[in-house]
């Protein structure tokens, strides 16, 4: 399966590329074939002609039984809406009676009544043009009237076209409702005066929404395109590296799952209970898959179970959507495809989702070698912070638009056009939310990138996608139909593009960020650490921990072991290493710092970073801290050591945290250079004979016999009683930066540290 997988990803790349291109440049095509109908014509309101006719009205046509039924039924619906808004579905906008069928492929039960109402309005007289008449029947004081019969006929045709396209009416006045309900027709040819002003208002405020709803929906389809193109680029990028292919497969499983859930959700409409149950089952599977991110890839048995569930889910969606599309399909011009292109897309994406799930959940017994694991020497820490912020923002926006598409559309649509938010708009907004979630998942994946070429390539992908996203927004948005918040939505990527570009171009020779890339990628536990640590590096460019420090430079000399050294019992099992077995000399930089406290006299863990520099490269970078072992078990528990929140309670309940703090905390030591520092991460040491060893490093002064525990700042009995109180003690005379100042003064005076 592993050998064939890249070939199948090429197919996935082509599918996503085609989907993204069509969505970006031909959103109407996507809507046309997914809805099984042609896009409605967007008419321009004939304002002058409409006003001429309305102002010239003298009589109101007699309402027939269909017109009476329409107004009486809608009035009852309106009264129901006052007490139970959730029961009122004909209109979503206060003050309007809407057909609410824009883009629908089904015949509405009120279609006949709507046609009758439009016919009744057009029958009001006199019209702008009648056969056999060379001029208008009446004239107004404000407008000169056309005497040409052809012009009058064209004007009346425009008015007729507009009225026949109407599918929203303003709420009629009580007087008009009463007149329609009480009207009794005596003569079929009789025309009553009726409440003329109310009818004029009804005609002038009526409007067609179908075309505008379609247009807004096309805008949201176009906004989905950049994320789809981004998924295509990530597929192509994943082909280049075997070590990131399996984590990417997991991300694609979630992307395709959310996509098909969004499609299914748009079809439910609260009608079929079985479909609703199926949707909940799908959401449960999505939660199950997300749960696997907490730990690791499922075992074979659980992997097979989840894979079978996913296969059944996507097969069910494909069959159900295909059948629904077949029943609802209406022939369009030049339609030579299956009932719906949407069905083809779902089946294709479902098939690709099954393949991705198989590769991720089962894969081969021999996974690709993790050749990209190691140290990201060049990636600035701020870039991780940017991607963290990017993930959080996109996840919130995407989930909101997926779960509340109607609210999202109303929020971004101008108040004057809120009532254009119909089912087709909801469906398109939901799809946009799905693909924004996809972009959030790729941001989450990016935080675990290791080698330089990987994070640099991902940075380029994000910049390309966000620029495309902003460009598509610029093509769509106008203040006539959208609020200013829609601009923030469409151009949010421009916030990340310059920051990403700045970090991409930034060369930091001091960066020693350890990022191990493995098959499980980043975990949710990392997010609990990253969120509180995100703001400071992003806003002020300073690290969250060990931010108060002092640096120094010097020389590092290796002292190779002699045969006499190996005769000592403590060194008899020492394994030689090429780096330390020959006499070498490197320029070295060290940085001493406090972990969280700005006051050097406080009770805190002290740290030291060492870098062996050869030009811009370093053969060995290490981070040290006081304490021979860490007060936490894993990176996921790192927040436990922060002196915030219920720090006292955490210390009391955790033996590991308590003993680790006792081992590492130092209060007001004599100097940074009299302390012993430990490399608390256990490293793997590979030697030429193929054996692997575990190794840790230690950094200690050459002579510390004359330094007492008090001078080293070792925790005393008073500190043991209150490890959570790390502030300076009362009466402490030394300055807040005395440790930093002491090292500076010593080196300035020519007193070297060894």
Give pLDDT tens digits for 449-480.
766 778 888 999 999 999 988 888 887 766 56
Q: Check residues 671 and 382 and name the one with the higher pLDDT.
A: 671
Assess whether 554 and 500 both reside in one domain: no
- Residue 528 domain-assigned? no
Q: 27: Cβ–Cβ under 8 A, 6 or more apart, which residues?
A: 217, 218, 219, 221, 222, 225
Assess whether 410 and 552 both reside in one domain: no
Helix boundaries (H) for 58-209 = 65-83, 111-122, 149-165, 174-182, 196-205
Assess whether 71 and 55 both reside in one domain: yes
Over range 143-154, report the average pLDDT: 65
The answer on pLDDT for 250 being more than 90 is no
pLDDT at 370: 38
pLDDT at 81: 46
- Residue 176 domain-assigned? yes
Assess whether 499 and 550 both reside in one domain: no
- For residue 714, the tally of other CB atoms under 10 A from its CB is 17
The mean of the pLDDT values for the chain is 76
Closest C-alpha among 698, 697, 701 to residue 752: 701
- Residue 425 domain-assigned? yes
H/E segment holding residue 268: helix 245-268
pLDDT at 529: 60
The burial class, CB within 10 Å (0-12 / 13-18 / 19+), for 429 is buried
State residue 102 phi and psi, 5-degree precision.
Answer: -60, 125
Phi-psi region of 632 (alpha: psi -120 to 50; beta: other; left: phi over 0): beta
Q: Check residues 540 and 613 and name the one with the higher pLDDT.
A: 613
From 207, 242, 273, give the residue that closes a domain.
207
Q: 472: Cβ–Cβ under 8 A, 6 or more apart, which residues?
A: 24, 222, 223, 225, 226, 490
Contact 240, 133 (CB under 8 A): no
Assess whether 627 and 700 both reside in one domain: yes
Lowest-confidence segment of 274-278, 331-335, 661-665, 743-747 by average pLDDT? 331-335
From 177, 207, 237, give the residue that closes a domain.
207
pLDDT digits (tens, 9 = 90+) for 60-117: 888 888 888 888 877 766 555 444 444 434 334 446 676 654 434 344 556 788 888 9
pLDDT at 592: 94
pLDDT digits (tens, 9 = 90+) for 9-48: 888 898 899 989 988 888 888 777 666 666 777 778 888 8
- Residue 283 domain-assigned? yes
Beta bridge partners of 580: none
Over range 293-321, report the average pLDDT: 72
Lowest-confidence segment of 13-27, 45-59, 481-495, 671-685 by average pLDDT? 481-495
Closest C-alpha among 33, 117, 119 to residue 71: 117
Assess whether 157 and 257 both reside in one domain: no
- Residue 54 domain-assigned? yes
- Residue 343 domain-assigned? yes
pLDDT at 480: 66
Assess whether 198 and 236 both reside in one domain: no
- Residue 694 domain-assigned? yes
Q: Check residues 364 and 432 and name the one with the higher pLDDT.
A: 432
The answer on pLDDT for 208 being more than 60 is yes
Report the Cα 746 to chain-centroid distance in Å: 52
- DSSP H helix total and E strand total for the chain: 28, 13
C-alpha 202/C-alpha 224 separation (Å) is 37
Q: Which residue has the tokens 């050591």?
A: 641
Assess whether 69 and 152 both reside in one domain: yes
Assess whether 396 and 457 both reside in one domain: yes
Report the Cα 77 to chain-centroid distance in Å: 39
Closest C-alpha among 464, 431, 490 to residue 221: 431
Contact 470, 442 (CB under 8 A): no
Task: Write out the residue range of the structural domain in which residue 436 sits.
Answer: 5-37+211-505
The answer on pLDDT for 417 being more than 60 is no
Assess whether 572 and 651 both reside in one domain: yes
Assess whether 185 and 71 both reside in one domain: yes
- Residue 187 domain-assigned? yes
Assess whether 119 and 59 both reside in one domain: yes
Token couple for 530: 């990253």
pLDDT digits (tens, 9 = 90+) for 684-725: 777 767 777 788 889 988 876 678 888 898 988 888 888 888
Split at pLDDT 50, 70, 90, the class of 671 is: very high
From 488, 505, 522, give the residue that closes a domain.
505
Q: How far is CA 715 from CA 469, 648, 709, 721, in A?
A: 56, 17, 9, 10
Give the chain's domain count. Answer: 3
- For residue 279, the tally of other CB atoms under 10 A from its CB is 16
Collect contacts of 607-611 with beta carbons under 8 A, ≥24 apart. Answer: 607/546, 607/549, 607/677, 608/672, 608/677, 608/699, 609/512, 609/546, 610/699, 611/510, 611/512
Over range 420-437, report the average pLDDT: 79
Q: What is the DSSP string of 9-73?
A: HHHHHHHHHHHHHHHHH-HHHHHHHHHTSPPPP-PPP-HHHHHHHHHT--BBPPP-HHHHHHHHH
C-alpha 305/C-alpha 659 separation (Å) is 43
């Amino acid at each position: 399966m592993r050998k064939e997988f890249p070939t199948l990803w090429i197919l996935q790349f082509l599918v996503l590329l085609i989907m993204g291109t069509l969505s970006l440049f031909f959103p109407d095509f996507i809507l046309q074939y997914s809805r099984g109908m042609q896009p409605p014509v967007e008419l321009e309101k004939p304002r002058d002609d409409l006003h001429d006719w309305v102002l010239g009205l003298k009589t109101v046509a007699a309402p027939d039984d269909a017109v009476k039924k329409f107004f009486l039924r809608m009035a009852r619906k309106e009264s129901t809406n006052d007490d139970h808004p959730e029961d009122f579905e004909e209109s979503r906008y206060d003050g309007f009676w809407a057909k609410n069928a824009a883009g629908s492929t089904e015949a509405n039960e009120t279609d006949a009544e709507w046609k009758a109402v439009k016919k009744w309005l057009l029958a009001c007289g006199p019209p702008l043009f009648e056969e056999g008449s060379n001029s208008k029947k009446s004239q107004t004081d404000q407008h000169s009237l056309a005497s040409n019969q052809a012009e009058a006929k064209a004007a009346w045709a425009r008015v007729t076209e507009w009225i026949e396209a109407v599918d929203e009416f303003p709420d009629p006045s009580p007087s008009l409702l009463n007149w329609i309900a009480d009207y009794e027709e005596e003569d079929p040819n009789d025309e009553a005066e009726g409440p003329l002003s109310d009818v004029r208002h009804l005609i002038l405020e009526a409007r067609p929404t179908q075309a505008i709803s379609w247009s807004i929906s096309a805008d949201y389809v176009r906004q989905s395109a950049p994320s789809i193109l981004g998924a295509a680029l990530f597929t192509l990028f994943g082909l280049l590296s075997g070590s990131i292919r399996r984590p990417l497969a997991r991300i694609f499983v979630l992307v395709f799952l959310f996509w098909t859930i969004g499609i299914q959700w748009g079809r439910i409409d609260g009608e079929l209970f079985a479909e609703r149950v199926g949707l909940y089952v799908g959401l449960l599977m999505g939660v199950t898959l997300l749960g696997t991110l907490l730990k690791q890839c499922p075992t074979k048995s659980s992997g097979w179970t989840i894979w079978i569930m996913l296969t059944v889910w996507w097969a069910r969606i494909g069959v159900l959507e295909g059948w629904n599309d077949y029943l609802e399909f209406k022939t369009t011009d030049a339609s030579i495809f299956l009932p719906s292109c949407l069905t083809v897309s779902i089946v294709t994406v479902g098939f690709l989702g099954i393949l991705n799930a198989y590769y991720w959940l089962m894969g081969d017994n021999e996974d690709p070698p993790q050749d990209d694991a190691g140290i990201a020497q060049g990636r600035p820490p701020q870039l991780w912070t940017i991607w963290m912020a990017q993930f959080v923002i996109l996840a919130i926006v995407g989930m909101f638009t997926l779960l509340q598409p109607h609210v999202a559309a109303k929020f971004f649509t101008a108040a004057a056009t809120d009532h254009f938010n119909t089912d087709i708009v909801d469906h398109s907004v939901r799809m946009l939310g799905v693909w924004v979630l996809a972009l959030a998942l790729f941001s989450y994946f990016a935080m675990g990138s290791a080698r330089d070429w990987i994070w640099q390539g991902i940075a380029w992908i994000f910049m390309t996608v966000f620029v495309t996203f902003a460009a598509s927004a610029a093509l769509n948005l106008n203040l006539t139909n959208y609020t200013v918040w829609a601009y923030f939505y469409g151009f949010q990527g421009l916030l990340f593009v310059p920051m990403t570009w700045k970090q991409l171009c930034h060369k930091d020779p001091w960066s020693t960020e350890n990022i191990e890339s493995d098959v499980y990628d980043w975990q949710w536990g990392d997010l609990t650490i990253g969120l509180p640590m995100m703001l400071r590096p992003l806003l002020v460019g300073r690290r969250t921990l060990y931010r108060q420090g002092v640096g120094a430079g010097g020389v590092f000399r290796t002292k190779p072991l002699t045969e006499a050294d190996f005769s000592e019992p403590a060194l008899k099992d020492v394994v030689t290493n090429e780096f330390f077995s020959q006499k070498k000399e490197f320029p070295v930089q060290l940085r001493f710092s406090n972990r969280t406290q700005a006051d050097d006299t406080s009770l805190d863990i002290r740290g030291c970073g060492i870098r062996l520099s050869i030009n811009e490269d370093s053969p060995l970078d290490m981070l040290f801290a006081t304490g021979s072992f860490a007060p936490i078990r894993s990176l996921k528990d790192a927040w436990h050591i922060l002196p915030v929140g219920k720090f006292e309670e955490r210390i009391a309940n955790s033996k590991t945290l308590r003993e680790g703090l006792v081992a590492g905390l130092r209060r007001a030591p004599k100097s940074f250079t009299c302390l012993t520092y430990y490399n608390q991460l256990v490293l793997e040491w590979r030697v030429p004979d193929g054996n692997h060893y575990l190794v840790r490093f230690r950094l200690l002064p050459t002579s510390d016999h004359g330094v007492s525990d008090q001078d080293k700042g070792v925790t005393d009995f008073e500190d043991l009683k209150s490890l959570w109180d790390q502030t300076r003690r009362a009466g402490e005379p030394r300055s807040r930066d005395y440790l930093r100042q002491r090292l500076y003064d010593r080196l300035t005076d020519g007193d070297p540290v060894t």
